[in-house]
Amino acid sequence: MKDSRKLFITLSGFLLLFIVGHANAEPRSGYEFVKAETREMQDDDFANPGLHAVDVGEELFNQKYKSSGKSCASCHGEKGERLNTKSIAKYPVYSSKTKKIISLQQRISSCRSRFAGKSLAVNHPDLLALETFVRNRAFAEVVNVKTDGAVADLLKKGETLYKTRFGLIDMSCYQCHVMYPGQMIRGQKISQGQANGFPAYRLGTGEITNLNQRITQCLNLMRAEPFPSDSDEIKLLELYLMSRSNGLKIETPAVRY
């Protein structure tokens, strides 16, 4: 009996060390967890299917709106060369004025609506293409989401959601992406769930997907009721997930499963 207890304590200790070790692991891009041919596809400007969304976004970026006669390019250049790429790498950000989290897509939507005269719904195809184009302008910039000040409390709320079990499967994001990265599930290798590649092209769905949509997809896989795309919960998760990628380079559009 004593030997069984010793064995249980020993195994429990190893499990704790395993979990703590993974929790404190250095951030690794999902690029490191995909197959070699997928990495080659992402790196090839002719083979990366996500670059189609970048091209569509560039067209929309240069499209003049009838209500103003101006386009996004009027301020930021035809290729977005006047965009501040280091600022792009800081999104999502917290607005002390509105007391809200602002995603990159929201920032684009707000700017666009001033010229277009109307706003678009969250994740509208045009907004998704614009988001992909703008994020791509900051390609290879280091993700640098603010984590101190007022944001610190919001990150704690995001972390709580990240560790909450959801759905019929009764799993959390934490269990997959912190406890089991590198393990296999459905023939695919589990990554750390880093967000530096989003918007990314997903081979599984055949479309460009931003972080907001990917969270919803994961909740669906958990057989859970997804949060509305403009909900506080989604925004908190986006903020926390992107902060986990601090120090990694932006890869938009990455290619993932």
Q: How many whole angstroms separate alpha carbon 117 and alpha carbon 115?
A: 6
Single-letter amino acid code for the residue at 219: L
User: Residue 72 catalytic?
Assistant: no
For 132-163, letters b (16+ CB in 10 Å) and e give: bbbbbbbeebebbbbeeeebeebbeebbebbe
Burial of 121 (0-12, 13-18, 19+ CB in 10 A): exposed
Nearest alpha-carbon partner for 251 in 33, 32, 42, 27 = 42
Catalytic choice (72, 173, 176, 218): 218
β-strand pairing of 200-202 with 254-256: parallel
Burial of 203 (0-12, 13-18, 19+ CB in 10 A): middle
Instruction: Judge whether 198 and 244 are in contact, CB under 8 Å.
Output: no
Q: How many whole angstroms separate alpha carbon 119 and alpha carbon 224?
A: 30
Q: How many whole angstroms separate alpha carbon 133 and alpha carbon 58?
A: 6
Task: Give the three-class secondary structure for 182.
Answer: coil
Instruction: Judge whether 226 and 211 are in contact, CB under 8 Å.
Output: no
Which residues form the catalytic set? 218
